[in-house]
């Protein structure tokens, strides 16, 4: 893929430089006779762009989701559109990824509403999250009142950005409530 992008950039760069080479030299206040022969044509610029593309660092080897962000892993907090339990829609909110499938993640729902008196929620540490959400207290739903599973299935394409990783303390708290992060 990187090779193809480099080749395309080299061709486009070559065409642009070829069209504007005399103007480019004029803008740079360079006399065409003082430029070495190897650097006189657009091919030198094209080769340079191609070489740069070959040596560009690879950012991450994790596969990407359909939205272009990195694929989530178990134990990570993500911001995304979390579906309502009744299936009538969803809301943009943080969630904790418990399990990752090909197109869907099992996650726990997180809210910033005060749930300190509700036994179905535990307060979590979000001080390491990225963005402004770390300044709010947050609670994670660990149980349902009817006894059903608290996990929700979030389509991979609904996840927008990674917020952080679950802390050791939060992981231990979840284990006490019977929720394990693989």
pLDDT tens-digit series, residues 133-169: 667 788 889 888 888 888 899 998 899 888 888 888 8
| Nearest in space to 80 (alpha carbons), one of 94, 64, 99 | 94
Instruction: Return the CATH number of 76-176, one of 3.60.20.10, 2.40.50.100, 2.30.30.110, 3.40.50.1100.
Output: 2.30.30.110
Query: Band of the pLDDT at 73, cuts 50, 70, 90?
Result: very high
| 57/174 Cα distance (integer angstroms) | 38
What is the reported pTM? 0.61
- What are the tens digits of pLDDT across the range 6-57? 666 666 666 666 566 565 555 555 555 655 555 556 566 666 666 666 666 5
The residue behind tokens 């950012």 is: 59
Stretch 97-114: mean pLDDT:
91
Domain boundaries, the chain: 2-54, 76-176
Q: What is the pLDDT of residues 75-96, one digit of tens each?
A: 999 999 998 877 788 899 999 9
Least confidently predicted of 57-66, 94-103, 165-174 = 57-66
Let me know: does 161 contact 78? Beta carbons within 8 Å. Answer: yes
Other C-beta atoms closer than 10 Å to the C-beta of 22 total: 9
Q: Determine the length of the chain.
A: 182
Are residues 153 and 83 in contact, defined by beta-carbon separation less than 8 angstroms?
Answer: yes
**CA 3 – CA 133 distance, rounded (Å):** 39
- Predicted local distance difference test score (pLDDT) of residue 41: 60
Residue 108: predicted pLDDT: 92
What pLDDT does residue 147 have?
81
């Amino acid at each position: 893929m990187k090779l193809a992008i480099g080749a395309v950039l080299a061709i486009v760069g070559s065409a642009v430089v070829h069209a504007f080479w005399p103007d480019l030299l004029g803008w740079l206040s360079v006399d065409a006779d003082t430029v070495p022969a190897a650097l006189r044509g657009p091919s030198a610029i094209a080769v340079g762009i191609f070489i740069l593309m070959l040596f560009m660092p690879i950012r991450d080897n994790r596969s990407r989701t359909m939205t272009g962000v990195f694929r989530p892993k178990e134990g990570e907090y993500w911001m995304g559109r979390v579906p309502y339990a009744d299936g009538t829609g969803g809301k943009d909110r943080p969630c904790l990824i418990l399990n990752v499938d090909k197109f869907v993640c099992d996650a726990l729902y997180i809210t910033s509403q005060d749930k300190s008196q509700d036994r179905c929620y535990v307060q979590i540490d979000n001080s390491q999250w990225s963005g402004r959400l770390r300044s709010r207290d947050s609670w994670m739903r660990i149980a349902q009142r009817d006894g059903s599973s608290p996990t929700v299935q979030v389509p991979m394409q609904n996840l927008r950005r990674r917020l952080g990783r679950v802390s050791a303390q939060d992981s231990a708290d979840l284990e006490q409530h019977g929720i394990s992060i693989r």
